[in-house]
């Protein structure tokens, strides 16, 4: 059997960097980890409630967290930040208040910044959200995967692999379907590969979407 490893963890220190940067004593490490999860969940929930785009894509590529003794710096990388930017100061203040309330941290300052990314469909999280929206609207999974591949080709990537698992199209027996376009060298540590796994709830049950995007080779 082939041993599967998360492509991001496999490349840490070479082509991949950490999404959370902070230091903690071993006893406090789990608290810091839970704090990170709360921050990410709170931001995603807020964006879901307030900034639903017509395509059903939230557009968050990744959330980076940097912590110091007196400051928590959160950077949100978004593909479509238009809806956040329209009345940016008010929306950001509201988001900061929500996160601070969730964390209950009075002795630390929280700073949230939004960065726009180019080629949003070159990021697997945004692409997975797009596919999830299509599957929820009962679009055929093959059609959704082919459309996603067309979108990544515009984003100038070298290869993509998409895998969908579960009760696809409402069939009784769960199965795995996948499609690949171009090269996806998962064994090469020097290859810059973006990866995400995403769960989508449909009326038939939960489907799992995995996406590997090969961007460049060092």
Structural domains of the chain sorted by starting position, each given as residue range(s) with its CATH number in brackets: 16-114 (3.30.300.20), 118-215 (3.30.1140.32)
Tell which residue, 77, 39, 73, 85, has the closest CA to residue 59. Answer: 77
Per-residue confidence (pLDDT) for residue 82, from 0 to 100: 64
Q: Taking a C-beta distance cutoff of 8 angstroms, is the pair 114, 143 a contact?
A: no
Structure tokens at 115: 């960065």
Q: What is the pLDDT of residue 2?
A: 72
Distance CA(45)–CA(76), nearest Å, equals 13
Structure tokens at 117: 């990314």
pLDDT of residue 218: 75
pTM (two decimals): 0.88
Q: What is the pLDDT of residue 104?
A: 79
Q: Tell me the DSSP string of 153-195.
A: HHTT-SEEEEEEEESGGG-SS-EEEEEEEE---TT-TTEEEEE
Q: What is the pLDDT of residue 87?
A: 56
DSSP one-letter string for 105-117: -SSSEEEEEEEE-
pLDDT at res. 83: 55
Of 112, 109, 116, nearest to 89 by C-alpha is 112
Kindly give the parts of the chain with pLDDT less than 50. Answer: 54
């Amino acid at each position: 059997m082939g041993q599967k490893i998360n492509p991001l963890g496999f490349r840490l220190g070479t082509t991949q960097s950490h999404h959370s940067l902070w230091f903690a004593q071993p006893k406090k490490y789990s608290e810091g980890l839970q704090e990170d999860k709360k921050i990410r969940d709170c931001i995603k929930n807020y964006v879901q409630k307030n900034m639903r785009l017509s395509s059903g894509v939230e557009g968050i590529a990744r959330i980076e967290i940097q912590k110091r003794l007196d400051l928590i710096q959160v950077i949100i990388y978004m593909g479509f930040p238009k809806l956040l930017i329209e009345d940016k100061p008010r929306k950001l203040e509201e988001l900061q208040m929500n996160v601070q309330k969730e964390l209950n941290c009075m002795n630390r300052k929280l700073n949230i910044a939004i960065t726009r990314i180019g080629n949003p469909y070159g990021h697997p999280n945004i692409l997975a959200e797009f596919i999830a929206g299509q599957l929820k609207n009962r679009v055929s999974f093959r059609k959704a995967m082919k459309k996603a591949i067309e979108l990544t080709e515009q984003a100038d990537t070298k290869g993509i692999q998409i895998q969908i698992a579960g009760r696809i199209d409402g069939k009784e027996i769960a199965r795995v379907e996948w499609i690949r376009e171009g090269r996806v060298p998962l064994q090469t540590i020097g290859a810059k590969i973006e990866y995400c796994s995403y769960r989508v709830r449909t009326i038939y049950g939960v489907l799992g979407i995995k996406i590997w995007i090969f961007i460049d080779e060092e």
